Each structure stands twice: as C-alpha cells, then as structure tokens.
Amino acid sequence: PSHSKSKRASGFDMAPPTSNLMSSAPGQGFQDQLPGMPQPMSALSQSMFTGGSAQLGSL
Amino acid sequence: CSRLHTKPSISPTLLLANMYQRPDMITPGVDPQGQPLDPTKIQQHFEDFYEDLFEELNKYGEIESLNICDNLADHMVGNVYVQFREEEHAAEAVRNLSGRFYAGRPIIVDFSPVTDFREATCR
C-alpha cells in the first residue's frame, strides 16, 4: 500500500493555546527546555513578546 | 565559545533559534509520557519538520543550504540555519517570519554570520 501523499498540515502559523503561552506543558516552555540557562532564556521570552529582536543573544 | 556571536545587519544566512524540538527531547528514545519511541517515528518527525521549513522558506527565494540541528545538548539545540542565494531573499524571509508561530511556539529569526557551513565552528 502506497503511503498517502495527502498534505500534512504545516506547523507554520500554529498559534499556542492562549492559556498556555507562558506557563506550559512539560517540554513546551523555554524555561522547561533549558533549565540550566534561565538568564538568556528569560531575556529571550521578554523581548520576543515586545516585538524586539535585534538584541537577542545567539545560542 | 562565549556564545556571544557577531550578528550581521544583513546576510544571506538566517538563524531560526531553537525551532526544532525532538519528540524525545527530554529523554533520548522516550516520549514525554515515558513511552518508548520508534526510531523511524523520530526520523519521520524530523523529515516532516524539514519539509515544512523547506516549503515555507522556498517561498522567499532560492535556498542554498538548509541545516537543522536535532542534537539533544543545550548548545544550538533545534537551531535552523538557512542560507539563501541572495541576501534580499533572506531579508524578505526575516520580514515575513518575524512574529509568526510554528507548532505553537514563536519563531525567533535573525541574520547569521555563517556563510560556509564546512567552516562554521566557534573559535
């Protein structure tokens, strides 16, 4: 049986559930993802919700 | 590496930070609920992600190179590097992707200084 070629839904523009934006399910939040690096991560999430991006630290 | 990399104001290469999340990112080979994951499922998940990225990025210009980090260490984890043939196409992609979401997470996009991935190491 040939594998269906029907298009998967792309993950682009899949918004987060509104109640889930900052706190989150395990593995979803930046804080959960990288517990060893709280500083750059919180800076990241602050600036990304205020629209700034120029000063983000590279990882 | 200090991880304080230079950030060009324009470049043909973009970095989409921490964009790919492995299904077994918490424990290798195991999903977040603790169930063992089939390696072919993990590979399929990665390939679906790659396809999503390629199809979206290809809208903005010809892609020279598309690299996705699927490592599990904390450095560069899930980073996506895309190099366009033309700087203007990279700039167009930045304009279009900024502020959007992928799979429920914000897209963090910026120019990257990398132009040759064979030489792309921190010093």
Amino acid at B59: K
Nearest neighbour of B104 by CB, restricted to A16, A48, A59: A16
Determine the average pLDDT of the residues in A21-41. 50
Summarize the confidence of residues A23-45 as an average pLDDT: 50
Tell me what pLDDT residue A31 has.
Answer: 47
Average pLDDT, chain B: 93
**Distance of alpha carbon B12 from alpha carbon B116, whole angstroms:** 11
User: For B58-84, what is the mean pLDDT?
Assistant: 94
Please say if the pLDDT value at position A22 is more than 80. Answer: no
Residue B98 in contact with partner chain A when CB distance is under 8 A: yes
Instruction: Give me the mean pLDDT over the A41-48 stretch.
Output: 50
Residue A8 — pLDDT band, cuts 50, 70, 90? Answer: confident
Q: What would the pLDDT profile of B9-40 be if each residue is shown by its tens digit?
A: 999 999 999 999 999 999 999 999 999 999 99
Distance in Å, alpha carbon of A29 to nearest chain B alpha carbon: 9
pTM: 0.72
